Structure 1
Amino acid sequence: MTKLQESRFKVVLADAIGLVAFNVNKWSLFYSEVLRNDFSIWSILRKCIGMELSKITMPVIFNEPLSFLQRLTDYMEHTYLIHKASSLADPVERMQCVAAFAVSAVASQWERTGKPFNPLLGETYELVRDDLGFRLISEQVSHHPPISAFHAEGLNNDFIFHGSIYPKLKFWGKSVEAEPKGTITLELLEHNEAYTWTNPTCCVHNIIVGKLWIEQYGNVEITNHKTGDKCVLNFKPCGLFGKELHKVEGYIQDKSKKKLRALYGKWTECSYSVDPATFDAYKKNDKKNTEEKKNSKQVSASEESDEMPMPDSESVFVIPRSVLLWRIAPRPPNSAQMYNFTSFAMVLNEVDKEMESVIPKTDCKLRPDIRAMENGEIDQASEEKKRLEEKQRAARKNRSKSEEDWKTRYTENVMRLSTILRDQPMKLLDRAVFWIEFVMCHKGAKHLWPADYLNCFQYHSLDMTGFLLACMTTVIFLLIKGCLLCYQKFVKTGKKKKRK
Structure 2
Amino acid sequence: MPVVFNEPLSFLQRISEYMEHTHLIHKACSLSDSIDRMQVVAAFAVSAVASQWERTGKPFNPLLGETYELIREDEGYRLISEQVSHHPPISAFHAQSLKQEFEFHGSIYPKLKFWGKSVEAEPKGTMTLELLKHKEAYTWTNPMCCVHNIILGKLWIEQYGTVEIVNHSTGDKCILNFKPCGMFGKELHKVEGYIQDKSKKKRQVIYGKWTECMYSIDLKFYDTYKKSEKKTGSDPKKLKQERTCEGEEEDECPDVQETVTVIPGSALLWRITPRPAHSAQLILRI
Task: Calculate the TM-score normalised by the size of structure 1.
Answer: 0.54
Q: Distance in 2 between matches of 1:280 and 1:211?
A: 39
Correspondence for 2:97 among 141, 150, 154: 154
Correspondence for 2:173 among 209, 230, 234: 230
C-alpha deviation, 1:309, in angstroms: 1.9
Does the 8 A contact of 1:262 with 1:273 survive in 2?
yes
C-alpha deviation, 1:207, in angstroms: 1.4
Matched, 1:330 2:266: no
Partner residue of 2:243?
none
Letter in structure 2 aligned against 1:97: V
Map 1:231-310 onto structure 2 (within 5 A).
231-286=174-229, 289-291=233-235, 304-310=249-255
C-alpha deviation, 1:292, in angstroms: 7.7
Partner residue of 1:60?
3
1:150 counterpart SS class = strand
Mean CA deviation greater in 200-209 or 184-193: 200-209
**5+ residue gaps in structure 2?**
240-247
**Structure 1 or 2: more strand by fraction:** 2
C-alpha deviation, 1:310, in angstroms: 2.6
Q: Distance in 1 between matches of 2:120 and 2:230?
A: 29
Map 1:139-218 onto structure 2 (within 5 A).
139-218=82-161
Letter in structure 1 aligned against 2:220: A
Q: Percent identity?
A: 76
Q: Distance in 2 between matches of 1:117 and 1:267?
A: 24
Q: Distance in 2 between matches of 1:290 and 1:304?
A: 28
Map 1:92-107 onto structure 2 (within 5 A).
92-107=35-50
Matched, 1:85 2:28: yes
Q: Using a 3 Å threshold, how does the CA distance of structure 1 residues 293 and 211 change in structure 2: closer, same or farther?
A: farther
Q: Distance in 2 between matches of 1:60 and 1:209?
A: 17
C-alpha deviation, 1:208, in angstroms: 1.9
Q: Using a 3 Å threshold, how does the CA distance of structure 1 residues 67 and 247 change in structure 2: closer, same or farther?
A: same
Q: Distance in 1 between matches of 2:191 and 2:272?
A: 14
- Give the number of the structure whose alpha-carbon radius of gyration is greater: 1
Q: Using a 3 Å threshold, how does the CA distance of structure 1 residues 322 and 180 change in structure 2: closer, same or farther?
A: same
Partner residue of 1:109?
52
Q: Distance in 2 between matches of 1:290 and 1:177?
A: 33
Task: Calculate the TM-score normalised by the size of structure 2.
Answer: 0.92
Letter in structure 2 aligned against 1:80: H
Runs of 4+ in 1 over 6 A off after TM superposition: none
Q: Distance in 1 between matches of 2:87 and 2:189?
A: 32
C-alpha deviation, 1:336, in angstroms: 2.1
Matched, 1:221 2:164: yes
Q: CA RMSD in A?
A: 1.8
Deviations 1:167-217 (A, max 9, x none): 111210111111110011000000000000000001001112221111000
Deviations 1:124-166 (A, max 9, x none): 0000000111100111000000000100011111000000110
Map 1:363-378 onto structure 2 (within 5 A).
376=286
1:308 counterpart SS class = coil
Q: Using a 3 Å threshold, how does the CA distance of structure 1 residues 99 and 60 change in structure 2: closer, same or farther?
A: same
Q: Distance in 1 between matches of 2:135 and 2:15?
A: 25
Q: Distance in 2 between matches of 1:167 and 1:198?
A: 12
Does the 8 A contact of 1:135 with 1:154 survive in 2?
yes
